[in-house]
């Protein structure tokens, strides 16, 4: 028997190609570790674009050997031999793979057998508290016995198409349950074999969003692979193998995709490894199809130098943290600003674009101001034109004067009240005329007149009167309000950051 699997096959989806890469990685592992047990009776040839499998004898026995040597269990955790995770003493990288696969491909209980839930305390790093993780201790999972679907009763590889279950191709669902036989997905046995190895090449993240107010859910990252050998080098980097549990978290789909692509820098990923794009998706149950898991969201994430540079700023200026709750347990808290900024980046929008549409309440605005220091740094280095930067600086200058007037007339000045009033007025600006009226009024108020405006009047007037997107100016104004730094609000921010994390205490997830 001989099978040729080619990356250039036009019938292959992104997930098929990821599966082809996963199989390539596994076979290469068996080549390198020839002293270890490997599939019996199977020969292969690997190129950067193709895999050729050859064997003699019973198809079932050969393929069963391949699957059982590839998909194993160690200490109750899914073990993918080609990732060499069994040689790493730290359990965290192994848990990421285990939880990620169970949270995406193998969500349904019918896909695996477990002996129960195990608790494990993890020390993320020296400077953070321990966190408690709960996970399923597995006895088996469907990949280990899939040969029964690939071969007939006589042990021959099936010639007719195979009906594909949702776990094998997540999101490829039956269109109508009443007509399952007519609307279900089918694959050839060769393509089904590819899909079986897709979990090896994919990556996984746990999403904790502050904007969508959903329980934590898993994101599946499917790379766009153009070279099997180069992708194997990329996936087997130490940055993946030694990934700590903190790197398992992401605040959004955009954040997850960029985390995957920007391991060191984008240009190296794209030019050296040929990986400059990926799909990131979430799976869940929708009201019209409660019987199966459906793709609930999907992003296409591309990497290029501009996004890379901005994403590096985001990672430097906005941090995710692990804090202690009232039960003295550690839990993860994601950056609010990082969530909307990274989603903007992957949508090829300005990083602050749409901020006014996102911050629709005083509660959300308060959360945003907890990260004012990072926003201030992003404003100084990440705004695309000098005139827009001047606009925000003018807003800061007017705020300084407004706060000064408030402080001079009150023993206990209420800056928060001022911020709420300004944000509310901004929210009421529904067209270019009302926004301009607000800006001119704010800049010309006695006590709040800005020297930045006076010194740069011409540039600012051109920006305000000739811009095609008045909503972008409203976003910049809100950015100016949220990013303004004083010594007093820095201290308030430090205290309030700890207070707001209590809200996230109820958002803990058992990793099962």
Extended beta strands in 194-288, E state? 203-207, 217-223, 249-250, 277-286
Residue 294 · residue 254 · CB < 8 Å:
no
Is 476 in contact with 392 (CB distance < 8 Å)?
yes
pLDDT for the residue numbered 177:
45
Number of residues that this document lists for the chain? 512
289 CB-contact burial (10 Å; exposed 0-12 / middle 13-18 / buried 19+)? middle
| Cβ within 8 Å of residue 295, ≥6 positions away | 170, 171, 281, 282, 283
Residue 265: closest CA among 327, 332, 219, 310:
310
Residue numbers in the chain where pLDDT is lower than 50: 175-183, 266-267, 287-292, 490-512
For the chain, the helix, strand and coil percentages under 3-state DSSP, each to the nearest 5 = 50, 20, 30
**Do 117 and 512 touch, CB atoms closer than 8 A?**
yes
Task: Give the pLDDT score at 423.
Answer: 94
Question: Can you tell me the distance from the alpha carbon of 128 to that of 496, in angstroms, rounded to the nearest whole number?
Answer: 19
* Whole-number CA gyration radius for the chain: 27
> What is the structure's pLDDT at 122?
81
Dig out the tokens for 441 from the structure. Answer: 């009024």
For 120-170, what is each residue's pLDDT tens digit? 888 776 766 778 888 999 999 999 999 999 999 899 999 999 888 888 988
Q: Are 509 and 216 in contact (CB under 8 A)?
A: yes
- Tokens 């990672």 correspond to 315
Phi first, then psi, for residue 201 (nearest 5°) are -85, -20
Q: From the centroid of its chain, how far is CA 393?
A: 32
For the chain, the maximum distance between any two Cα atoms, rounded to a whole number of angstroms, is 92
296 Cβ contact partners less than 8 Å away, ≥ 6 residues apart: 281, 282, 283, 284, 286
Bridge partners of 116?
A: 137
Name every residue whose Cβ is closer than 8 Å to that of residue 282 and which is 6 or more positions away in sequence.
207, 217, 218, 219, 220, 253, 295, 296, 297, 298
Among residues 148, 221, 149, the alpha carbon closest in space to that of 186 is found at: 149
The pair of structure tokens assigned to 155 is: 């042990």
């Amino acid at each position: 028997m001989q099978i040729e699997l080619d990356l250039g096959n036009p019938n292959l989806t992104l997930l098929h190609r990821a599966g082809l890469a996963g199989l390539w990685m596994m076979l290469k592992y068996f080549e390198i570790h020839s002293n270890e047990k490997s599939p019996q009776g199977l020969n292969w040839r690997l190129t950067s674009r193709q895999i050729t499998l050859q064997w003699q004898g019973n198809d079932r026995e050969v393929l069963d050997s391949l699957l059982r040597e590839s998909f194993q269990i160690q200490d109750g955790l899914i073990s993918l031999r080609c990732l060499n995770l069994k040689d790493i003493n730290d359990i965290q990288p192994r848990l990421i793979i285990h939880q990620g696969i169970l949270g995406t491909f193998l969500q349904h209980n019918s896909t695996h057998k477990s002996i129960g839930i195990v608790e494990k305390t993890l020390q993320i790093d020296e400077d953070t508290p321990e966190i408690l993780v709960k996970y399923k201790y597995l006895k088996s999972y469907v990949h280990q016995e899939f040969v029964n679907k690939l071969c007939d009763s006589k042990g021959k590889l099936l010639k007719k198409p195979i009906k594909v279950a949702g776990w094998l191709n997540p999101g490829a669902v039956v269109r109508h349950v009443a007509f399952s036989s007519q609307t279900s997905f089918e694959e050839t046995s060769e393509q089904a074999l590819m899909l079986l190895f897709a979990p090896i090449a994919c990556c996984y993240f746990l999403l904790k969003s502050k904007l969508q107010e959903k329980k934590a859910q898993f994101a599946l990252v499917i790379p766009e692979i153009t070279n099997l050998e180069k992708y194997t080098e990329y996936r087997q980097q130490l940055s993946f193998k030694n990934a700590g549990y903190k790197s398992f978290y992401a605040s959004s789909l955009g954040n997850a995709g960029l985390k995957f692509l920007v391991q060191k820098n984008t240009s190296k990923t794209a030019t050296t490894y040929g990986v400059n794009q990926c799909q990131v998706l979430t799976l869940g149950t929708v009201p019209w199809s409660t019987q199966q898991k459906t793709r609930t969201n999907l992003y296409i994430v591309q990497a290029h130098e501009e996004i890379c540079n901005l994403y590096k700023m985001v990672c430097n200026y906005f941090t995710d943290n692990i804090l202690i709750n009232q039960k003295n347990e550690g839990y993860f808290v994601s950056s609010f600003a990082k969530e909307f900024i990274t989603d903007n980046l992957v949508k090829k929008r300005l990083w602050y674009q749409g901020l006014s549409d996102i911050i629709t309440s005083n509660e959300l605005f308060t959360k945003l101001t907890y990260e004012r220091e990072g926003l201030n740094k992003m404003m100084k280095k990440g705004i695309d034109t000098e005139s827009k930067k001047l606009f925000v600086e003018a807003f800061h200058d007017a705020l300084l004067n407004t706060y000064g007037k408030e402080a001079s007339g009150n023993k206990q000045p209420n800056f928060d009240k001022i911020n709420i009033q300004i944000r509310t007025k901004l929210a009421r600006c529904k067209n270019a005329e009302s926004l301009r009226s607000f800006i001119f009024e704010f800049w010309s108020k006695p006590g709040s007149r800005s020297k930045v405006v006076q010194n740069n009047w011409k540039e600012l007037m051109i920006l305000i009167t000739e811009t095609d997107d008045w909503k972008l100016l409203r976003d910049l104004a809100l950015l100016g309000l949220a990013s303004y730094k004083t010594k007093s609000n820095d201290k308030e921010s430090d205290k309030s950051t700890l207070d707001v994390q209590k809200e996230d205490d109820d958002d803990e997830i058992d990793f099962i």
